[in-house]
A and B are shown apart, each in its own frame.
Chain A
Amino acid sequence: KNQVEQSPQSLIILEGKNCTLQCNYTVSPFSNLRWYKQDTGRGPVSLTIMTFSENTKSNGRYTATLDADTKQSSLHITASQLSDSASYICVVSALYGGTSYGKLTFGQGTILTVHP
């Protein structure tokens, strides 16, 4: 069964500090992995998307890594800001029959709270 596990479930950090969120998946065959940021009551917004051949991708202060061998990804946030407070969701897409069918498996998310 395809699964995506995120850790920690929640995290509290002080403004200006760095943090790393983890995502482990068992989705197979793997197509791509995305990180989304979801503010409370809003729709998720894409941060990064990585395919099998990519092992790191940055978007401003957000840097995602992917280890396809161990089926792990991380999202590193540098110099956190109050506006980084949100839920961060890892989403893994499965590949079927040579085409990306787009079947997505969502993690439960990590709730990040940044305090001043």
Chain B
Amino acid sequence: DSGVTQTPKHLITATGQRVTLRCSPRSGDLSVYWYQQSLDQGLQFLIQYYNGEERAKGNILERFSAQQFPDLHSELNLSSLELGDSALYFCASSYRRDPLDGYTFGSGTRLTVV
């Protein structure tokens, strides 16, 4: 157990729908990062939050949004889902806002859009 908790582990939904993925960072960590990993592709950085504020943005679609709450857990909202959004979504956390010393990944949420 890495200490980073992601729920749900699996999610199956239809095109056009909206889903919310949840991440609880490791105890004491202030930064949360979201990544998308499509089949046979590398990890794509989506967005980072540090202590409740957006810190960095990657290749995140406008249909996707995220937030970090006062208790530091984070949610990734995916709307108007398309088949191509099917992927593993990983959350990672670190203590610092700049992960010089690396960060810890959760086990991921597998999203299947049908």
Check A89–B98 contact: CB distance below 8 A: no
- How far is A99 from B45 in the complex, measured between Cα atoms in Å? 20
Check A106–B108 contact: CB distance below 8 A: no
Stretch from B14-22, B69-77, B79-87, B99-107 that touches the partner: B99-107
With A42-B107, A102-B48, A103-B56 known as contacts, the answer to whether A89 contacts B43 (CB < 8 A) is yes
Contact with B along A27-38 (1 / 0, CB 8 A): 000011010000
Q: Chain A residues with Cβ under 8 A from B88's Cβ?
A: 41
Candidates A44, A45, A101; contact of B56 at CB < 8 Å:
A101
Check B101–A49 contact: CB distance below 8 A: yes
Main secondary structure of the interface of B (DSSP, over half): loop
How close is B102's CB to chain A, nearest CB, in angstroms? Answer: 5
- How far is A32 from B97 in the complex, measured between Cα atoms in Å? 16
- Does A114 interact with chain B (Cβ within 8 Å)? no
- Does B78 interact with chain A (Cβ within 8 Å)? no
Number of interface residues of B (CB under 8 A): 24
Check B102–A46 contact: CB distance below 8 A: yes
- Does A58 interact with chain B (Cβ within 8 Å)? no
Measured CB to CB, the nearest residue on chain A to B2 is: A43
Measured CB to CB, the nearest residue on chain A to B99 is: A102
Check A32–B100 contact: CB distance below 8 A: yes
- Does A104 interact with chain B (Cβ within 8 Å)? yes
Check A34–B45 contact: CB distance below 8 A: no
Check B48–A44 contact: CB distance below 8 A: no
- Does B28 interact with chain A (Cβ within 8 Å)? no
- How far is A99 from B48 in the complex, measured between Cα atoms in Å? 17
Candidates A43, A102, A106; contact of B98 at CB < 8 Å:
A102
Candidates B42, B100, B102, B105; contact of A107 at CB < 8 Å:
B42
Check B4–A43 contact: CB distance below 8 A: yes
With A89-B42, A102-B56, A107-B42 known as contacts, the answer to whether A49 contacts B102 (CB < 8 A) is yes
Q: Which residues of B contact A (CB under 8 A)?
A: 2, 4, 41-45, 48, 56, 88, 90, 92, 97-102, 104-108, 110
The 4 residue pairs across chains A and B that have the minimum distance between CB atoms: A43-B105, A102-B98, A108-B42, A100-B98
